[in-house]
Structure 1
């Protein structure tokens, strides 16, 4: 995990805590920082020597692609498991996507989900951009409608000052509930933390597949 990144280190800490609750043994906790994210041989060797058969990667897809490539070079073949930051690994330039086969990840959006809302979004996105959207595209789409819902809840009008609009929206965000692409009944805390259930997917035959 990236110890210099709040997102990565926060998920890692939560994972370790829940692993203990579930009776799973964490044999190694290996970190890197933003200025040391090109060589993961030391971390991989530690995981391999400790016999880790599953490696959790709460990181973004660029670093993950490097880790999978270096693990392959070592002949180390554990199951890799990531989170939403991993969504996009199949699009990394010059990455051998076969190395991601079997990679599991939790994400709020799965493009091949069969619900009508997701399929309509994916179809329109492909029509406009010629590509399949990942969770970051879905997040952006939901964010616009969340802001719209907050504006309506707050009763924002054009004559309000920017400061008053900001204050009103901050308060309104804690009152709204949004059904979006990345979750139904999404709500927000005063800190901005969103509450929504993740979805699981696995990379199978070179594509993201819902689990």
Structure 2
């Protein structure tokens, strides 16, 4: 652990105040519901009590509510544990519903600033997270997302042609794998385990999350010698009938279908594939987590579905089982990886705040600079529920380095996928 104590006089806000005033003031004013509370560096971001005020944003209603509620509950469990310890670090969590909508997410962010938020844990889903991360970057508000996996969330990443279109958002960090990492890791896993010889891909080309994973999967699959025989797409507006996509995969002889999409369309794909007598192997990413909870879905169709995930609730280690028991008591359901990532976010923040040496009466922008220094210091690491028993670290890009695990649905639960 580093012994450095943050020096507020050298904050990034101080260094770039003139640039912010010239180039960002108009943007900030246009994005806020309250001009008096939206300015970067405002003292309104300091806590009035002895707790750090953490905001959270995600869908707690609507089609993606399973993700938002999982994050909300997972984070609250961590907050309650930490507060019960009675140490120097105490938290207050205010979690806002955005219904998986970018505009509502930005509005929720502004509401949380009015409340006095000092750190943002969120947002949960990718498109809202891209929008909100632009706001937090302009305000110099520290943000760590449990599940906003697009590289657009953190910025500074090259596109397929190697061009960097958006600057790095230095204040934004991820607890989840980035989309390219998910896609590349999935292709590598499929290749190494010889899970399929002819691969089909069905992805949502109207969704940043899905297209990002698709692009990296395709590039890695080609490098690993996987044969992609079918590539078909859909949009949010057409995610009800997958007969064209499934027939294309079936006619091409695909024996494995890669699904870099969320669990609701996956449930429809599995149902419709079963109706047409098509039974390939199915491989997904973290968006598949939640498949077993879809109302009206025949979960027997999910048997054998595989995915990469950083967390499995059936793991036998004491920390996981303690968390699972507490989550089931609070939510009456088994936690998914989104809940575990949120839990880890809170504990990573606690560790980083302890190392930074800041106190709850510190301005949010100074807290941001202190946390950025810790997370990118090279000597900060974190071991949690989603790090497979190893210490995770963050690069100066905001990406986390940790190992995914292969999982398969067996007898209605997620189990480790044997090598």
Aligned residue number for residue 115 of structure 1? 317
- Residue 193 of structure 1 and its aligned partner are, at CA, apart by 1.7
Write the distance in 1 (CA, Å) between the matches of 2:370 and 2:271: 48
Match of 2:233 among 31, 34, 39: 31
Partner of 1:189: 395
Q: Which residue of 1 aligns with 2:160?
A: none
Runs (4+) of structure 1 moved beyond 6 Å? none
Distance 1:71 1:80 in 2: 11
TM-score normalised by structure 1 residue count? 0.93
User: Which residue of 292, 311, 329 corresponds with 1:90?
Assistant: 292
State how far apart, in whole Å, the 1-side matches of 2:304 and 2:405 are: 16
Contact 1:37 1:63 in 2 (8 A): yes
- Using the TM superposition, give the Cα deviation of residue 6 of structure 1 relative to its aligned residue in structure 2, in angstroms: 2.5
Closer/same/farther in 2, CA of residues 189 and 33 from structure 1, 3 Å limit: farther
Q: How does 1:38-117 map to 2 (within 5 A)?
A: 38-117=240-319
CA distance in 1, matches of 2:214, 2:412: 27
Higher relative contact order (CA 8 A, sep 6+): 2
Q: Distance in 2 between matches of 1:71 and 1:149?
A: 47
Query: Shift in Å at residue 108 of structure 1?
Result: 0.6
Maintained 8 Å contact 1:171/1:190: no
TM-score scaled by structure 2? 0.48
CA deviations 1:34-74 (Å, max 9, x no partner) are 33222222111111111111000011111111111111122
Aligned partner (choices 140, 144, 168) of residue 342 of structure 2 = 140
In 1, the alpha carbon distance for the partners of 2:259 and 2:311 equals 18
CA distance in 1, matches of 2:221, 2:381: 31
* Alignment match, 1:8: 210
2:180 is matched with which residue?
none
Aligned residue pairs: how many? 211
CA RMSD between the two structures: 1.6
Local SS of the residue matching 2:292: helix
SS in structure 1 opposite 2:220?
helix
Gaps of at least 5 residues in structure 2 are: 1-202
C-alpha separation between the residues in 2 aligned to 1:94 and 1:204?
Answer: 19
